[in-house]
Amino acid sequence: MKALVLQEPGSLVLQSHDEPAMPSSGEALVRVHRVGVCGTDIHAFRGKQPFFTYPRVLGHELGVEVIATGDGVTNVKPGDRCSVEPYLNCGTCIACRSGKGNCCTKLQVIGVHADGGMRERFVLPAVKLHPSERLSYEQLALVETLGIGAHAVQRAAVKAGEFALVIGAGPIGLSAMQFAVEAGANTIVVDINDQRLEFCQQQLGVQHAINGQRENVLERLLEITDGDLPTAVFDATGNPGSMKNAFNYPAHGGRLVFIGLFPGEVTFDDPNFHRRELTLMASRNAAPEDFSRIIRAIEDGRIDTRPWITHRAEASEVPALFESWTQPETGVLKAVIEF
């Protein structure tokens, strides 16, 4: 079978790959139909993804079809269309025992720590499959992206009426905005791309947009919030400069959530942090219930993933296209690969 393999930074090739074995007890063999390209894949292509080794089959935003199941599998059957929860957790560590398998001490993420879904077929634990009778493979491939934002907004316990700021209007930032808006927050976005800022307001219902390159972000936030500043701030950039500046934006008593990450250290002014009595959180991956909740929201029409997808390609075209997808001037919001 064919697989897209990232051999080293900057080198993505389509090559023959070993066929998977038939599924064992508790496993499912799936046929990959759609793969969403996310920031993790782009960072890995650039050689800037933490916890990453080469060569690697990328891909963890997946819309798949169940081909076969092993003994004891009851949640899916052959023919089911599914989204994949790509977080392989041990089930026994302190995080797993606390219901936080998304930050398992031995976590293996498909497409990052283990080979992912940019291949025709593979085997995975069946419990990681979330079926839908109504969603397309393309819609199912975007569920994981939405899960990252949903989990972050839930971590921050965003409430109706409060001001929530999202820094970075890439797919992860968009997913956080989607759920901040759904929670009833007065949502603000900061980015440097006018096209993305316009998308946030027109497609997601974000109330306020700030271009961080042309405007003074702190002054605009004070103006929008009548001097209070946002009580919930999410940084989805994975940029160290942005993450450091983000400590200036929460209101006194507010929360700052880092969704994006980078391979390095974040520093901040301690008196400023203490004076405001800020709460700093990391948000990693998503929980199984996030997948079920998002699938229902898309099925009910409360979330529309169609405007997110700006680029599509067949697997055979991707090696020649992928580098261009990493360039901002290409205008990629979300690219989807068809296998």
pLDDT at position 102 over 80? yes
pLDDT at position 30 over 80? yes
Domains of the chain as residue ranges with CATH: 2-142+309-338 (3.90.180.10), 148-282 (3.40.50.720)
**Please, which pLDDT band fits residue 39 given cuts at 50, 70 and 90?**
confident
Please report the pLDDT score of residue 329 as a whole number.
85
Name the CA dihedral angle for 293, 299, 303, 309, rounded to a multiple of 10 degrees: 110
Pairwise CA distance, residues 21 & 122, whole Å = 8
- Give the residue-averaged pLDDT of 269-287: 97
> Cis before residue 171, ω within 30 degrees of 0?
no
pLDDT at position 38 over 80? yes
Please report the pLDDT score of residue 51 as a whole number.
75
Please report the pLDDT score of residue 251 as a whole number.
98
Which tokens is 200 given? 């946030």
Query: In this predicted model, what pLDDT tens digit does every residue of 226-249 receive, in sequence order?
Result: 999 999 999 999 999 999 999 999
By the 10 Å C-beta count (0-12 exposed, 13-18 middle, 19+ buried), 53 is classed as exposed
pLDDT at position 181 over 80? yes
Name the CA dihedral angle for 108, 304, 212, 224, rounded to a multiple of 10 degrees: -120
pLDDT at position 87 over 90? yes
Mean pLDDT of the chain: 96
Least confident residue range of 34-48, 86-100, 229-243, 311-325: 34-48
**Please, which pLDDT band fits residue 222 given cuts at 50, 70 and 90?**
very high
Which tokens is 116 given? 């992912």
- Give the residue-averaged pLDDT of 298-317: 94
pLDDT at position 191 over 80? yes
